Structure 1
């Protein structure tokens, strides 16, 4: 971020983008920034300048007369800065630098490993520091990339939807013999649960429609999906498991097959930055492209 007499130049760029795109929502999509973050930064910009640049018109923000004047003075300069930085990026043929990538172990084994290996072949001067764990934290620098299902506490970060995983309920035949027949949603409440996290509220869907929300108390919490599956196979309870991880040879039976937990959305999370390191941009694009491939989508 570049500072000026008026504060952060990035905030001036946000203002110009809102006017240029015609709405706050359209600008947020272009810049991959949350609407709430943009609104907060624009308000702070107006306070620093001591003038009203945007005003509400229906559901949209439109420039005031002062805002239009400011836009006419600022926009050409912002375009020149953008073109200049794009030209500098284009001149840099060799991608280099270091990226810290944080994700659960199962993500890496499942499909990210092949993307990383190809990325390293394509960009031999990029160094990667990969941390495989479930206890994820928010990105700390502009070279950190986090892959996670949980974006709580990551306000102000860019969180791009990555892939979604449909979950259903499974238990072993041995465990089902112990607890008896399960025919209704309420039967799930008093069962012993195995979980990836301290989940107590479990949403229940039928098709695409939410059906119920139940509260459970996990007996076992373990931060690795393969360990959860193994515990369920060994009869320690039931679990909400991603369908793409369940092979036919597993010692598992799907409970209440007409119902499921819904889809859990994962995200690529990195610090908000108009011009991020090229290596990070290329890695994010490679991961997004991997998820869009038909053979991967078919596994969801």
Structure 2
């Protein structure tokens, strides 16, 4: 059933195999065995795509419910145990996850040797319920939902540039000076790059329309362009601090408050009942 449900949700046996740590052939064997036991086809297969049969669609919905109940039964065992154990599926944004979150994850695993973490880094807004994530870190405003959202410290952004760029183009002294500079744009998966940068000083907020010939959807690549002296980057303070300390980048407009984005830890209300999730939430709140 798990192979069948994962194949439906992934769209192919190959993608399902990656999620289940099996070979595509083994996933196919599980689905075929299920069909043989039922005496009916669950999937219409062609060389290019697969789709559910009418029976497969109804069977898929019941399988999801059964697998959810099985997971709840496993969770009950964990609730009754004092020792956190089991696999924890976590989602986080790419830059935050690869830089700021990873030291926390490795520390947490050292402290809890019976826990395994499956960390997925993506800037896409994952569906915790449908994609079976137990906790997710999310940066930015939250949409209304039934999820529990625990506030974390804000994700602060700062403006920086390489000394070579500043020597060539000059140093912006006030936010409006940025209109005459190359301002590297970070493009999210769901929308184009920000063209309005915000700065505050003495309770006055200035919004500057910036432009750039380069937009990138990955922070490390964006910072690489800044290090090459191509333009000014507005990026996460945690991520940029090493380059600032080494002198590879110079902070700009330091007397202004730069933008910060809200950050939350999300989970469904029933997830907190398990010992592993409770320990992870408490540790994340303490660290962030």
Report the TM range for the smaller structure's normalisation: 0.5 to 0.7
Contact 1:112 1:287 (C-alpha < 8 Å) held by counterparts: no
Structure 2 gaps of 5+ residues are: 1-75, 188-192
Deviates more, 1:258-267 or 1:148-157: 148-157
1:191 equivalent to 2:181? Answer yes
Distance in structure 2 (CA, Å) of the matches to 1:117 and 1:160: 22
- Correspondence 1:85-124 to 2 at 5 A: 91-124=80-113
Distance in structure 2 (CA, Å) of the matches to 1:253 and 1:158: 39
TM-score normalised by L of structure 2: 0.60
Deviation, structure 1 residue 136: 3.8
Between Structure 1 and Structure 2, how many residues are aligned?
204
Q: 1:218 to 1:139 in 2, by over 3 A?
A: farther
Contact 2:83 2:275 (C-alpha < 8 Å) held by counterparts: no
Q: 1:274 to 1:108 in 2, by over 3 A?
A: closer
What is aligned with 1:243? 237
What is aligned with 2:151? 161
TM-score normalised by L of structure 1: 0.58
Deviation, structure 1 residue 151: 4.2
Distance in structure 1 (CA, Å) of the matches to 2:282 and 2:207: 36
Contact 2:140 2:263 (C-alpha < 8 Å) held by counterparts: yes
What is aligned with 1:205? 200
Distance in structure 2 (CA, Å) of the matches to 1:95 and 1:137: 25
Q: CA RMSD in A?
A: 2.9
Contact 1:165 1:264 (C-alpha < 8 Å) held by counterparts: yes
Deviates more, 1:231-240 or 1:155-164: 155-164
Deviation, structure 1 residue 274: 7.9
Q: Cα deviations across residues 36-65 of structure 1 (Å, max 9, x unaligned)? A: xxxxxxxxxxxxxxxxxxxxxxxxxxxxxx
What secondary structure does 2:140 align onto? coil
Q: 1:168 to 1:128 in 2, by over 3 A?
A: closer
Structure 1 gaps of 5+ residues are: 1-86, 292-300
